[in-house]
Chains A and B, each alone.
Chain A
């Protein structure tokens, strides 16, 4: 069985992923929530360790597409809704890309990429991750849709 994954990100380091969009981190979570309602399940946890929602402008989430049409994955839905509830408590303070000093923003993009590296490796998609904003080539090695 071929497992198919989908990478949702607003991080320029993942500009090669098909679901890359330069939006807020909260909008990435919302897009993933919709995808979960279409039957996908979360691969990584929707919250960061050690960043609060308004502190980190970037977010990358990986979902696995359903192998066959079925219901909604309730644990994934619960996790994403709990995370969105936390994001809503920071309403108006959520960081969007382009606000911070570029060097600080580059650090945040770097860390987001490194924190998702393990997940991408798990999905054989590590090659999607570029080293920085100067290297945005898409080199998909796994199965991404």
Chain B
């Protein structure tokens, strides 16, 4: 399997009569794109805005962030949603690096996030550094929430495909090639280095708390083995309307830093043999089944180490700990990546569950830390939602337009794939 990512750098956005990319400046034919998205009869209105790094702009409530991509031949890359369901483990992909499509909609207001493009809040979200096309979507009257979510999800993918497809003829600034061998070769490669797999936990608790693999709702899957190239190429997308700080946006899946780090160390420090995708379901029977199957796959691969990333918090902590406990009981050493809800002073218990075997844990930050976001010159979306957004509270939105919230409300603030801007410091 050979995947080529043809990266086209984007460092500015502008409106224009024709969508084009010249010298890093992406000009967008807003009317053509708006008309395309408005074809979906589930929307009453579709509004487009630009939000660039340093702009005095607040985006709220943010649903998803998507990196614009398409196949080099123009085909779409969100299998099961836009285009076919063909396997995406190889091929040539155009990536508009530095650009992002941000979808906004008040689906269930308290579940969405905030992105500030400047000021203290901007330091907590990776999407203050991307050039964002913001798509604000309002539903027709009476549209069911899950239909509204599905429509917003699709609109994000369609916009992302539209942008990449329109400029795919431009010469790439760089081409990244990832070659992934067959399992028989992978398992015997790099003798002497520890064999390591990645257990990729995905939110799947129910409607509005969903993730999709090739268009399949992952709550319906048994844990399965995927190639890193599939993940890098859009096989996993977000359908999540959960707590903004630690939900994996589609952008985070497309650019999973855990996979990138494993690939960097592959052949030097470790022998990385693959990704096991698993879910985070609600019933205890499902949790046991998935954990058992995921660890069984790790045993079949004969790995010595398993890196486990969680998505979300609360009852997924039980899945995380169960996966850790079972893997360690099978003789597989684990490292966990999670975030914390440890109270505003950081003194409370960080996770809802624990096990003595969880001795190597990476924290993506404490989501309860509080921050005051100063007023912005412009708000795109629906500012009233600040009062009800998770991490906010009644009175969060002050008269002067500033907002006091926990960083839980900021999109990607404690991303458990490491696509955040927080890191540990020695004091």
Which residues of A come within 8 Å of B, CB atoms? 42-52, 55, 75, 79, 82-83, 86, 89, 100-101, 104, 107-108, 110-111, 114-119, 122
Contact = CB atoms under 8 A, between A and B. Distances in A.
A115 B352 contact: no
B388 interface: yes
28 contacts: A44-B282, A44-B284, A45-B283, A46-B315, A47-B317, A47-B318, A48-B205, A48-B315, A49-B209, A49-B242, A49-B314, A50-B203, A50-B243, A51-B314, A51-B390, A52-B314, A82-B353, A89-B343, A89-B348, A108-B110, A110-B145, A115-B205, A115-B206, A115-B207, A118-B205, A118-B286, A119-B282, A119-B283
Nearest to A46: B315
Given A89-B348, A110-B145, A118 B390 contact: no
A42 B287 CA distance: 13
Contacts of A51: 243, 314, 390
Contacts of B208: 111, 114
B219 interface: yes
A49 B315 contact: yes
Given A49-B203, A107-B108, A122 B388 contact: no
A79 to B, nearest CB: 8
B352 A47 contact: yes
Given A50-B390, A110-B108, A117-B206, A83 B352 contact: yes
B109 A104 contact: yes
Contact of A50 (B145, B219, B242, B353): B242
B146 to A, nearest CB: 8
A114 B219 CA distance: 13
Contacts of B110: 55, 104, 107-108
A17 to B, nearest CB: 17
A52 B280 CA distance: 17
Nearest to B408: A52
B108 A115 contact: no
B198 interface: no
B313 interface: yes
B341 interface: yes
A114 B206 contact: yes
B136 interface: no
A42 B284 contact: yes
A55 B313 CA distance: 13
Nearest to B348: A89
Contacts of A75: 284
A104 B280 contact: no
Contact of B209 (A42, A52, A107, A115): A115
B314 A47 contact: yes
B341 A118 contact: no
B348 A50 contact: no
B313 A50 contact: yes
B207 A122 contact: no
Given A43-B283, A45-B287, A79-B284, 14 more contacts: A45-B315, A45-B318, A48-B315, A49-B315, A50-B316, A51-B390, A83-B352, A86-B352, A100-B388, A100-B394, A107-B110, A114-B146, A115-B209, A117-B206
A48 B109 contact: no
Contacts of A55: 110, 390
A119 B285 CA distance: 10
B312 interface: yes
A52 B205 contact: no
Given A49-B312, A49-B314, A49-B315, A43 B206 contact: no
B376 to A, nearest CB: 24
A64 B315 CA distance: 19
B281 interface: yes
A78 B349 CA distance: 16
Interface in B386-412: 388, 390, 394
A115 B317 CA distance: 16
A48 B110 CA distance: 15
Interface in B30-73: none
Between A43, A114, A117, the greatest number of chain B beta carbons within 10 A of the residue's beta carbon is seen for A114
Nearest to B280: A49
Nearest to A122: B283
Interface in B260-291: 280-287
A44 B314 contact: no
Contacts of B284: 42-45, 75, 79
Interface in B173-230: 203, 205-209, 219
A100 B395 CA distance: 12
A43 B315 CA distance: 13
A107 B107 CA distance: 9
Given A111-B208, A115-B209, A52 B348 contact: no
B383 to A, nearest CB: 15
